[in-house]
Amino acid sequence: MSDLHDAMPLLACQEGIWEGWYRYYDPDGNKIDEHRSRLVCRFPKDGPVPYHQSNHYFWDDGRQEVREFPATYARGRLWFDNDLITGWAAEDKLDEHNRTLMLHWLRKGEPETYLYEMIQVSDCRKYRTRVWQWINAGRIRMRTLIDEHKVSDSWEGY
Protein backbone atom coordinates (compact mmCIF):
# COMPACT_ATOMS: atom_id res chain seq x y z
CA MET A 1 0.00 0.00 0.00
CA SER A 2 2.97 2.31 -0.51
CA ASP A 3 1.00 4.21 -3.19
CA LEU A 4 -1.26 5.63 -0.48
CA HIS A 5 1.74 6.41 1.76
CA ASP A 6 3.35 8.31 -1.11
CA ALA A 7 0.16 10.05 -2.21
CA MET A 8 -0.95 11.11 1.30
CA PRO A 9 2.13 11.46 3.53
CA LEU A 10 0.30 13.48 6.20
CA LEU A 11 -2.27 10.71 6.50
CA ALA A 12 0.51 8.10 6.52
CA CYS A 13 2.24 9.74 9.50
CA GLN A 14 -0.95 9.17 11.51
CA GLU A 15 -0.65 5.40 11.30
CA GLY A 16 -0.78 3.94 14.80
CA ILE A 17 -2.88 4.32 17.92
CA TRP A 18 -4.35 7.62 19.09
CA GLU A 19 -6.12 8.36 22.38
CA GLY A 20 -8.09 11.40 23.39
CA TRP A 21 -11.44 13.03 24.04
CA TYR A 22 -14.48 13.80 21.90
CA ARG A 23 -16.57 16.72 23.16
CA TYR A 24 -19.90 17.67 21.56
CA TYR A 25 -21.44 21.16 21.70
CA ASP A 26 -24.85 22.46 20.68
CA PRO A 27 -25.16 25.57 18.44
CA ASP A 28 -25.10 27.79 21.55
CA GLY A 29 -21.78 26.36 22.79
CA ASN A 30 -23.21 24.15 25.55
CA LYS A 31 -21.45 20.82 26.03
CA ILE A 32 -23.95 18.02 25.39
CA ASP A 33 -21.69 14.93 25.49
CA GLU A 34 -18.10 13.80 25.92
CA HIS A 35 -16.26 10.52 25.86
CA ARG A 36 -12.75 9.09 25.71
CA SER A 37 -11.49 7.51 22.51
CA ARG A 38 -8.89 5.15 21.11
CA LEU A 39 -8.44 5.15 17.34
CA VAL A 40 -6.46 2.51 15.50
CA CYS A 41 -5.31 3.86 12.12
CA ARG A 42 -3.74 1.29 9.84
CA PHE A 43 -2.53 0.68 6.33
CA PRO A 44 -2.96 -3.09 5.93
CA LYS A 45 -0.35 -4.73 3.71
CA ASP A 46 -2.91 -7.32 2.64
CA GLY A 47 -6.64 -7.08 2.41
CA PRO A 48 -9.45 -5.44 0.53
CA VAL A 49 -8.67 -1.79 1.43
CA PRO A 50 -5.50 0.32 1.73
CA TYR A 51 -6.72 2.11 4.90
CA HIS A 52 -8.79 0.98 7.86
CA GLN A 53 -9.64 2.92 11.01
CA SER A 54 -11.27 1.46 14.12
CA ASN A 55 -12.76 3.96 16.57
CA HIS A 56 -13.27 2.80 20.16
CA TYR A 57 -15.39 5.08 22.36
CA PHE A 58 -15.67 4.96 26.19
CA TRP A 59 -18.14 6.91 28.32
CA ASP A 60 -17.79 7.42 32.07
CA ASP A 61 -21.10 5.57 32.65
CA GLY A 62 -19.56 2.36 31.24
CA ARG A 63 -20.98 2.51 27.71
CA GLN A 64 -18.63 1.51 24.92
CA GLU A 65 -18.88 1.54 21.14
CA VAL A 66 -16.66 0.47 18.25
CA ARG A 67 -17.05 1.81 14.71
CA GLU A 68 -15.13 0.57 11.68
CA PHE A 69 -14.08 2.83 8.80
CA PRO A 70 -12.47 0.97 5.91
CA ALA A 71 -11.51 3.22 3.00
CA THR A 72 -10.35 3.05 -0.58
CA TYR A 73 -8.06 5.46 -2.43
CA ALA A 74 -8.77 7.13 -5.77
CA ARG A 75 -8.37 10.51 -7.44
CA GLY A 76 -6.17 11.93 -4.66
CA ARG A 77 -8.64 11.17 -1.87
CA LEU A 78 -9.44 8.53 0.68
CA TRP A 79 -13.06 7.36 0.17
CA PHE A 80 -15.38 6.04 2.90
CA ASP A 81 -18.63 4.18 2.33
CA ASN A 82 -20.04 2.13 5.21
CA ASP A 83 -23.32 1.75 7.07
CA LEU A 84 -22.85 5.10 8.87
CA ILE A 85 -21.23 7.50 6.40
CA THR A 86 -20.13 8.13 2.86
CA GLY A 87 -17.48 10.71 2.09
CA TRP A 88 -13.84 11.55 1.52
CA ALA A 89 -10.62 12.75 3.17
CA ALA A 90 -7.90 14.78 1.45
CA GLU A 91 -4.72 16.56 2.42
CA ASP A 92 -5.04 20.33 2.12
CA LYS A 93 -2.46 21.24 -0.54
CA LEU A 94 -2.97 24.94 0.28
CA ASP A 95 -1.44 24.44 3.75
CA GLU A 96 2.24 25.19 3.17
CA HIS A 97 2.98 23.78 6.65
CA ASN A 98 1.57 20.34 5.74
CA ARG A 99 -0.58 20.05 8.88
CA THR A 100 -4.15 19.92 7.54
CA LEU A 101 -6.52 17.24 6.30
CA MET A 102 -10.09 18.02 5.27
CA LEU A 103 -13.00 15.59 5.26
CA HIS A 104 -16.54 15.78 4.00
CA TRP A 105 -19.11 13.13 4.82
CA LEU A 106 -22.79 12.46 4.71
CA ARG A 107 -24.62 10.64 7.47
CA LYS A 108 -26.62 7.76 6.05
CA GLY A 109 -30.22 7.80 7.18
CA GLU A 110 -30.01 11.56 7.81
CA PRO A 111 -30.45 13.01 4.30
CA GLU A 112 -30.15 16.66 5.37
CA THR A 113 -27.08 16.15 7.59
CA TYR A 114 -23.53 16.51 6.36
CA LEU A 115 -20.25 17.17 8.11
CA TYR A 116 -17.00 18.89 7.38
CA GLU A 117 -14.03 17.86 9.47
CA MET A 118 -10.68 19.57 9.74
CA ILE A 119 -7.73 17.69 11.22
CA GLN A 120 -4.65 19.62 12.37
CA VAL A 121 -1.53 17.52 13.04
CA SER A 122 1.33 18.92 15.12
CA ASP A 123 4.76 19.32 13.56
CA CYS A 124 6.13 16.54 15.80
CA ARG A 125 3.24 14.33 14.52
CA LYS A 126 2.36 13.21 18.08
CA TYR A 127 -0.70 15.44 18.65
CA ARG A 128 -3.73 16.33 16.61
CA THR A 129 -6.92 18.30 17.00
CA ARG A 130 -10.07 17.78 14.99
CA VAL A 131 -13.21 19.83 14.50
CA TRP A 132 -16.47 18.50 13.10
CA GLN A 133 -19.10 20.94 11.86
CA TRP A 134 -22.48 19.15 11.76
CA ILE A 135 -24.78 20.90 9.27
CA ASN A 136 -28.48 20.08 9.02
CA ALA A 137 -30.70 21.77 6.42
CA GLY A 138 -28.01 24.43 5.97
CA ARG A 139 -27.72 25.34 9.68
CA ILE A 140 -25.25 24.32 12.36
CA ARG A 141 -26.59 21.34 14.31
CA MET A 142 -23.60 20.85 16.60
CA ARG A 143 -19.82 20.87 16.75
CA THR A 144 -17.46 18.16 17.89
CA LEU A 145 -14.01 19.06 19.22
CA ILE A 146 -11.48 16.23 19.45
CA ASP A 147 -8.06 16.35 21.14
CA GLU A 148 -5.74 13.36 20.66
CA HIS A 149 -2.20 12.20 21.28
CA LYS A 150 -0.39 9.33 19.63
CA VAL A 151 0.38 6.47 22.01
CA SER A 152 1.99 4.11 19.49
CA ASP A 153 3.28 4.20 15.93
CA SER A 154 2.42 0.50 15.62
CA TRP A 155 -1.10 -0.86 15.38
CA GLU A 156 -0.07 -4.45 14.70
CA GLY A 157 -1.10 -6.80 17.45
CA TYR A 158 -3.74 -4.42 18.73
pLDDT digits (tens, 9 = 90+) for 28-39: 999 999 999 999
pLDDT in tens, 66-115: 999 999 999 999 999 999 999 999 999 999 999 999 999 999 999 899 99
SS3 call for 3: helix
C-alpha 81/C-alpha 108 separation (Å) is 10
The more confidently predicted of residues 4 and 115 is 115
What is residue 46's predicted lDDT score, i.e. its pLDDT? 85
Ordered domains of the chain (ranges, CATH)? 2-152 (2.40.128.20)
What average pLDDT does range 121-145 have in this prediction? 97
* Long-range own/partner contacts, residues 47-50 (CB < 8 A, 24 or more apart): 50/1, 50/3, 50/4
Sign of the dihedral defined by the CA atoms of residues 108, 56, 74, 137, in that order: positive
What is residue 1's predicted lDDT score, i.e. its pLDDT? 40
